[in-house]
Structure 1
C-alpha cells in the first residue's frame, strides 16, 4: 500500500485521539472533583493540584473582568516578576478604560512535578478562551490563543495558593506566546 494514502487516515485517527483526550480532560475538570469549599474559590488544604490551578485561574479572570489590579497582585507572592508583569498589563488596560470579560483558561494537560503541603510545581499546557475586551467604544473578542506549555510554581501563603513564577517551556503543540493577558516570567 502507498504510504501517502495512509497519511490522511493516520492524521484523522490522531485528531480523534486528541479530541477524545481533550473531552476527557474537560469533563474531569468540570465534574467537580475539586475539593473546594462551597462558595469559596480557593481550594481547601489537600486539594488536588488541578483544583488549585482552576481556582487560581478563576480568581485571575475575575480580577481582569473587574479591572482590579490589587486583586490581581494578591494572586502572586510579593516580589514575583510574573505578578508584576501581569499587573502592568491589566493596569494598561484599565488606563485605557478597557476590561477583559469571560476570560477562561482551558487546561489541555497538567503534570505535577512537585507536590508539598505548601508548594506545587506544575507543568501546564493550556490556552486562553473566550475573552472579550469591553469599554471605551470597544467590544471585541480576544484573538484565538494557541496552546502553550509552562512550568507554574505556586506557594501556599496564609491559606491561599499564590503564583511564585511561571516559566515558558518549549511545546510541541505551540511555541507562541499567549494573548495580551498572559503571564510572563
Structure 2
C-alpha cells in the first residue's frame, strides 16, 4: 500500500470545508451579479459548464431589461460530500435563495423553497469552479 494514501485524509482536512467553499463561491457569484459582470460570472465555472452558460444567459436577460440583482445570498441547508479529492468536490447540496433585491427598485426577490442539487466543483488555477449542477 502506498503510504501517501494514508496522508490524503489529513491533507484534505487542512483545506476549507465544503460549506466554506460553497459560501465563498456564492459570495463571488453575488458580486458578479451585482456588478452585472458576465465575464466574472463565467470565470466561476469551468469552461464547458452548462450551469455557467445558463447563469450567464440569465444575467444577460436581467441586464437586457435594465435590471441588476444586488445582495444575492444563498442559504445552505445541507451539504453532504459524495466525493472529495484535492482538485474535485462532488456535493449533495440543499439550499435556497435567502436574500436579494432588484435594482433599480429596490424590490426584494421572493424567497424560494429549498432545492437539492448535485454540485461538482473543480479546482482550477487555485480556485474552486463549478463544473456541473444537476
TM range (shorter): 0.7 to 0.9
Partner of 1:141: 108
Partner-residue secondary structure (3-state), 2:103: strand
1 or 2, which has the higher strand percentage? 2
- Give the alignment partner of residue 68 of structure 1, picking from 37, 42, 54: 37
Q: Which runs of 5+ in 1 are unaligned?
A: 1-44, 168-185
Moved over 3 A (4+): none
Matches within 5 A, 1:77-156: 77-135=46-104, 138-156=105-123
Per-residue deviation, residues 63-87 of structure 1 (Å, max 9, x unmatched): 1111111110000000111100000
Per-residue deviation, residues 72-121 of structure 1 (Å, max 9, x unmatched): 00000001111000000001111221110111110001100001000000
Per-residue deviation, residues 140-170 of structure 1 (Å, max 9, x unmatched): 1111211000000000000010000000xxx
Distance (whole Å) between structure 1 residues aligned to residue 45 and residue 87 of structure 2? 14
RMSD of aligned residue pairs (Cα, Å): 1.1
- TM-score, normalised on structure 1? 0.63
Distance (whole Å) between structure 1 residues aligned to residue 111 and residue 17 of structure 2? 29
- Greater relative contact order: 1 or 2 (C-alpha under 8 angstroms, separation 6 or more)? 2
Q: Which runs of 5+ in 2 are unaligned?
A: 1-13
Partner of 2:130: 163
- How many residue pairs get matched? 121
Distance (whole Å) between structure 2 residues aligned to residue 120 and residue 85 of structure 1? 21
